[in-house]
Chains A and B, each alone.
Chain A
Amino acid sequence: MFKYFEPNKIFSITSKAPKYVLFLFIVILSIGLTEALILSPEDYKQSHSVRIMYVHVPAAWISLGIFSAITFLSIVGYIFKIRNFFLIAKSLAPSGLVFNIIALVTGSIWGKPTWGTWWAWDARITSMLILALFYLMYLVAWRIFEDNDKVFKVTSIITILGIINVPIIKYSVDWWNTLHQPASINILSKSSIHISMLFPLLTMTAAFALFSILIFLMKYNTELIKIKNKGLDRL
């Protein structure tokens, strides 16, 4: 099954896909921004500041999703010695880090009018900051270590340690008293968010997911060409 993940086989797809993904991203983002900034209603308590949710929440979701994917790929790659899984994980990391930073910064901007402060060392915010540090450690490890075996081992350890933080982020609002509100959207039970706000939120999430796919494809292609450059040196 893993032979389908060989770079030689998938480069013909990954090299052509970015332009289509970029087009789709621009279309979905335009719809999402129109809904988020113009069409969606203001909140009865938070007024227009609730619109920050449309960038803050998707960014947080996707940064958590990407870190989980990186961990899964690193563990499976390490167990089955699939080098390409590490390459995919490495290519996912930059967009994961940027989404994490966006979640922290937009959360801070949202915090000022809502809580009266830019920052609080509460469980949700602090655990998100810790996730950003794990992303940084992961990316720095790829820069520091040149030996493949060593970098695969170190990055796997970083992701395994970092993934412990993911359920802490998710349940921090339930386990501790925090300034952060509990989740409004639940896959298994009824969501407390109205459809007029849920629709823009999901559209923006789709746009952000497309952007992370776009960055992943471009980064993955760059990494493959880098490997091929080394191959030409050996000829």
Chain B
Amino acid sequence: MIENLFFMNGFGLYVWSAFTFTLLSFFTLFLVIKIQYNKEKNKFIAKFGSLNSEKAAFAKSQSINKEILSNTSNV
């Protein structure tokens, strides 16, 4: 059964190549988007940290900024 799963009557190379390419593309895209997300988020946290208390309080009054700062365990 295992042999059949790999060789698939001689079509194994084609089938496995197609599935591998698909999953590799998924993984690469996920990784690229994740890196971009982390980069922007770290930039935001660094910029927020450099604000003085008055500007920081004003920025924090916006709910979306609070969400970005609190949401550290994102995918």
Instruction: Judge whether A45 is part of the interface by a CB distance below 8 angstroms.
Output: no
User: For residue A106, which residues in chain B have a CB less than 8 angstroms away from its CB?
Assistant: 18, 21-22
CB-based contact B15/A229 at 8 Å: no
Instruction: Give the residues from 106 to 135 in chain A that come closer than 8 angstroms, CB to CB, to chain B.
Output: 106, 109-110, 112-113
CB-based contact A52/B33 at 8 Å: no
Q: Give the distance in Å from the alpha carbon of A94 to the alpha carbon of B24 in the complex.
A: 15
Q: A18-B75, A42-B9, A102-B22 are in contact. Are A225 and B41 (CB under 8 A)?
A: yes
CB-based contact B12/A37 at 8 Å: no
> A residues within 8 Å of B by Cβ?
7-8, 11-12, 15-16, 18-19, 22, 33, 36-38, 42, 47-49, 51-52, 55-56, 59, 94-95, 98, 101-102, 105-106, 109-110, 112-113, 211, 214-215, 218-219, 221-222, 224-226, 228-229, 231-233, 235
CB-based contact B64/A232 at 8 Å: no
Instruction: Give the residues from 1 to 38 in chain B that come closer than 8 angstroms, CB to CB, to chain A.
Output: 5, 8-9, 11-12, 14-15, 17-19, 21-22, 25-26, 29-30, 32-34, 36-37
User: For residue A225, which residues in chain B have a CB less than 8 angstroms away from its CB?
Assistant: 37, 40-41, 43-44, 68
6 shortest interchain CB distances as A-B pairs:
A48-B8, A18-B75, A48-B11, A106-B18, A49-B11, A225-B40
Q: A218-B75, A235-B55 are in contact. Are A112 and B14 (CB under 8 A)?
A: yes
6 A-B pairs within 8 Å (CB atoms) are namely A11-B64, A18-B75, A48-B8, A101-B25, A109-B17, A233-B47
CB-based contact B36/A222 at 8 Å: yes
Nearest Cβ on chain B to A60's Cβ, whole angstroms: 12
CB-based contact A102/B25 at 8 Å: yes
> B residues within 8 Å of A by Cβ?
5, 8-9, 11-12, 14-15, 17-19, 21-22, 25-26, 29-30, 32-34, 36-37, 40-41, 43-44, 47-48, 51, 55, 58-59, 62-65, 67-68, 71, 74-75
CB-based contact B40/A229 at 8 Å: yes
Question: B22 is contacted by which of A38, A42, A59, A218 (Cβ under 8 Å)?
Answer: A59
Chain B residue, CB-CB nearest to A95? B29
CB-based contact B75/A22 at 8 Å: yes
Chain B residue, CB-CB nearest to A33? B19
Nearest Cβ on chain B to A229's Cβ, whole angstroms: 5
Nearest Cβ on chain A to B31's Cβ, whole angstroms: 11
Q: Give the distance in Å from the alpha carbon of A149 to the alpha carbon of B15 in the complex.
A: 46
Q: Give the distance in Å from the alpha carbon of A106 to the alpha carbon of B16 in the complex.
A: 10
